[in-house]
Amino acid sequence: MFLDNFSKDRVLVQGGQGTVYKGMLKDGQVIAVKRSRALDESQWKQFINEVILLSQIKHRHVVKILGCCLEDDIPLVVYEFICNGTLSEHIRNPIDEFIFTWEMRLRIAFKSATAVTYLHSEFSTPIYHRDIKSSNILLDDKFGAKLSDFGISRAVSVEQTHLTTRVQGTFGYLDPEYFYYGQYSEKSDVYSFGVILVELLTGQKPIRALRPVDKDEEETSLAMYFISSMNDNTLFEILDPLVLEGSKKEDIVEFANLAKQCLYPTGLERPTMKEATMVLERLRYRNSSCVPPLTPNDQADGWTTRNSSMITSSMETDNAFSKIGHV
């Protein structure tokens, strides 16, 4: 494995848990190597947890683990290399001559949703990711989404409805119920995913400044700002201009309604990830020339068919559009 002695030139990303480097195997395969910082006992458990979980997960939209090294005090994990960086980078730091279209945003949202749905309901033991955010969604050469960073994820028994833990995660994405009561459920992942949907709509950070020029600037969550805009019927005033290009207002409203439902204050009010995925699937294919295949297992796997009612019904969308469409 070639890493050039962990040269700074090979750093892909640095975080609180360590540094990810670009490397290469003897056969020429490009890889990403996560080199953790020196770990204490609890951090070792977190590291081992990530390796065990990723070794069991097989999904096209979850980053693959290729191996690990536990011989030294500083452990290494080898992942497939995902070449186009993070979703967060593309939302907030657009590349020259690259247009982050509405159709691309829909596709990324849908594919990310399928990965989380898999963790919640298609995997043999449900898994709560617990740190869903745009910087943990990697984009491949075709801008397909890959969910990453399972360091604080937890597998739970089917009978469990939540985990009671000390609060971990990233501010701006934290479920209010989890933040105040320390109880994490699958609906906490749904809340975090809702924040990503709002990022895709607005192009803004999950924590935003109210007065960006003022030295005494205040900060508020993007989720609160978005909900306020929806309630005030000013949604179209906060959208990323690129979202308005090549999209229909009614599709934007339906997408926004889904985001709002994911951000409801209590988990019981929020849709499941399966329900959110179905809404995004409908929107995605409505905005492309493809026709979604209907598989025989749709009903057997607990999925409603594409002709069934979605979590965001057409009536709800029409009502919302009648209020917002004049903007």
Q: Residues 312, 257: contact at Cβ < 8 Å?
A: yes
* pLDDT at residue number 16: 62
Distance between CA atoms of residues 312 and 100, nearest Å: 25
Alpha helices of 57-152 — where are they, by DSSP H? 87-92, 102-117
Instruction: Indicate if 240 and 258 belong to the same structural domain.
Output: yes
* pLDDT at residue number 308: 36
Residue 28's CB is within 10 A of a number of other CB atoms, namely: 7
* pLDDT at residue number 257: 98
* pLDDT at residue number 249: 94
Instruction: Indicate if 94 and 207 belong to the same structural domain.
Output: yes
* pLDDT at residue number 320: 43
Instruction: Indicate if 158 and 53 belong to the same structural domain.
Output: no
Distance between CA atoms of residues 231 and 165, nearest Å: 33
Alpha helices of 99-238 — where are they, by DSSP H? 102-117, 176-181, 186-202, 222-231
Instruction: Indicate if 193 and 241 belong to the same structural domain.
Output: yes
Nearest of 225, 310, 208, 305 to residue 260 by alpha carbon:
225
Count of alpha carbons within 13 angstroms of residue 237, beta-carbon side? 13
Asked if residue 3 is part of any domain, the answer here is: no
**DSSP-derived secondary structure letter, 267:** G
Instruction: Indicate if 28 and 167 belong to the same structural domain.
Output: no
Instruction: Indicate if 97 and 244 belong to the same structural domain.
Output: yes
Distance between CA atoms of residues 134 and 262, nearest Å: 16
Instruction: Indicate if 43 and 114 belong to the same structural domain.
Output: no
Instruction: Indicate if 37 and 113 belong to the same structural domain.
Output: no
Please provide residue 30's backbone torsions phi and psi, each rounded to the nearest 5 degrees.
-80, 135
Neighbouring residues of 140: CB distance < 8 A, sequence distance ≥ 6: 82, 83, 84, 146
* pLDDT at residue number 122: 75
Residues of the domain holding 115: 87-324
Quote the tokens at residue 221.
């969550």
Longest dimension (CA), the chain: 63
Asked if residue 215 is part of any domain, the answer here is: yes
Instruction: Indicate if 18 and 111 belong to the same structural domain.
Output: no
Q: What's the number of domains the chain is made of?
A: 2
Instruction: Indicate if 127 and 23 belong to the same structural domain.
Output: no
* pLDDT at residue number 10: 81
Asked if residue 2 is part of any domain, the answer here is: no
Nearest of 141, 145, 155, 126 to residue 197 by alpha carbon:
145
The CATH number of whichever domain residue 12 belongs to comes to: 3.30.200.20
Domain boundary among 47, 80, 113: 80
Per-residue pLDDT of the chain (327 residues; tens, 9 = 90+): 556 667 777 888 776 667 888 988 888 899 999 887 767 777 777 777 767 777 888 889 999 888 888 767 778 888 899 999 899 999 987 666 678 999 999 999 999 999 999 988 876 678 888 889 999 999 999 999 999 876 544 444 334 444 444 546 588 898 988 878 888 889 999 999 999 999 999 999 999 755 554 444 455 899 999 999 999 999 999 999 999 988 999 999 999 999 999 999 999 999 999 999 999 999 998 887 554 544 433 433 333 333 333 444 444 444 443 444 333
Instruction: Indicate if 73 and 216 belong to the same structural domain.
Output: no
Question: Strands 18-24 and 30-36: what pairing?
Answer: antiparallel
The CATH number of whichever domain residue 108 belongs to comes to: 1.10.510.10
Domain boundary among 53, 80, 107: 80
* pLDDT at residue number 246: 82
Rounded to the nearest 10 degrees, the angle between the axes of helix 273-286 and helix 249-262 is: 170
Instruction: Indicate if 115 and 199 belong to the same structural domain.
Output: yes
> Known catalytic residues?
131
